[in-house]
Amino acid sequence: MIAEKVLDRKTVPLAKVKELVKERVKDAEAPTYEQDMTLKYVGKFATLSRAKAEKIVEELQKIEGVDEALAVKAADVLPVEKTVLELLLAKKYHLSDDAIQSILDVIKKFNK
């Protein structure tokens, strides 16, 4: 077994994961089980292009109280209703009604 060391951790949108895994699979003889399962998952749930997802994340991070993790999750899920967004917020985030509406507005703008 080859030991691998984690050099860096970063939250990234599913669209970027899709591209990264496809690049690795392209260079290999056959995808590993994990790569295959990841490709199936992102094939179902990554609905945006990488550029569009990264633009949404960038716009969302400008909103007060929105960190990178929340911005990425919102870009992946694309909640268009306040109740769905509140499920993403759970108890970890305490955003104002204006911030919540701003998030929904950004998502609606990019989800046309």
Banded model confidence at residue 75, pLDDT cuts 50, 70, 90: very high
Q: Residue ranges per domain, the chain? A: 14-45, 50-110
The answer to whether 82 touches 104, Cβ cutoff 8 Å, is yes
CATH architecture of 50-110: Orthogonal Bundle (1.10)
Dihedrals φ, ψ of 62, to 5°? Answer: -75, -15
Q: What is the pLDDT of residues 1-39, one digit of tens each?
A: 566 788 888 899 999 999 999 998 988 888 999 999 999
The answer to whether 74 touches 103, Cβ cutoff 8 Å, is yes
In angstroms, rounded to a whole number, what is the distance separating the alpha carbons of residues 88 and 81? Answer: 11
